[in-house]
Amino acid sequence: MIERIFVEQGIKRMELEQYLKKELDKAGFTKAEVLKTPLVTRIVVNVTRPGLAIGKSGANIRTLTETLGKRFGIENPQLEIKEITQPALDAQAMADKIKSLIERGYSWRSVAYRTLRDIMEASAQGVEIIVSGKITGKGGRKKQQRIAEGYMKKVGDQVKLVDYAKAAAYPKVGAIGIKVRIVHPDTVFPDKVSISEILKKKAAGEAGKSEPAAPVAPVAVSPAAPAEAVAEVPKAEAKAEAKAGTVEGKKAAAEAKPVEPVSGEAKKEPKAVEAAAPTAATEGGETVAGQ
């Protein structure tokens, strides 16, 4: 079944990390990543002190590479050492640091608060440290103490973005468990709202409103006719149309139509009436009045 394959791979991975943790404990081992390629299998080991992991002239690396190939059956293993530049932002490194100091006799309270301060000074968004077990001294009952600062996600799918690690210290009084959670500075949660972005959008909107509007060219408007005259025009037109539709209206329109002259006929001009004037004739030097 395919489930067995996944279970076997998980067991091999856990055994590999436990072996590297045991061999590279002094080098500050935190985690290992296995990357398979067609040619080789790369194993990236994160440590805080790479010099101790490599060894003199790379002797420690060669020994680990041979052991990984024989013991875990890894084909063509290639070990790569990666240095942790900021140990204060690595949860496993901080848990191991608290464990080491408690086993050396330091008070868990002072160690936990000092570690909390170092993590927050490294610009972390939030941190939580839980110490539980025989922390009250010899003869005391087990107890759990929690110290935290900043922003922390505890539930939901967003917990995957939180760096989580645990360790166990074994002082003389009894076992003490340590849990460390760190939210890195560059972690962005899906529900996070940036106040700076809101202020920028608000400032941009106010700047757009404060800009003067473009001048509008004046438009010449003719004086409007009185409302009564405007109302009378449609009424007169409606009456004329109604009258034209009747028989009397059609007859009146036909009579009012001017008569055009017929082509080919000359226009007859009225004769001028001249008044008859008396004429005088002279006959032999005498004036004779016309009869």
- CATH number of the domain to which 41 belongs: 3.30.300.20
Domain with 60, as residue range(s), is 2-85
pLDDT digits (tens, 9 = 90+) for 41-57: 898 999 988 888 888 88
Instruction: Give the residue, 215 or 89, on which the prediction is more confident.
Output: 89
- How far CA 16 is from CA of 10, 32, 43, 271, in Å, comes to 10, 8, 10, 141
Q: Is residue 128 included in any domain, yes or no?
A: yes
Residue 119 in contact with residue 91, Cβ under 8 Å?
no
pLDDT band at 77 (very low <50, low <70, confident <90, very high): confident
Report the C-alpha gap between 10 and 15 in whole angstroms: 9
Identify which of 87, 71, 74, 77 has the alpha carbon closest to the alpha carbon of residue 31: 87
What is the predicted pLDDT for the residue at 219?
54
Question: Domain boundary residue among 149, 167, 183?
Answer: 183
What is the predicted pLDDT for the residue at 122?
92
Residue 284 has pLDDT above 80, yes or no: no
Instruction: Count how many domains the chain has.
Output: 2
pTM: 0.62
What is the predicted pLDDT for the residue at 291?
36
Judgement on whether residues 80 and 94 belong to the same structural domain of the protein: no
Strand 176-183 with 126-133, pairing: antiparallel
CATH number at residue 173: 3.30.1140.32
What is the predicted pLDDT for the residue at 280?
41
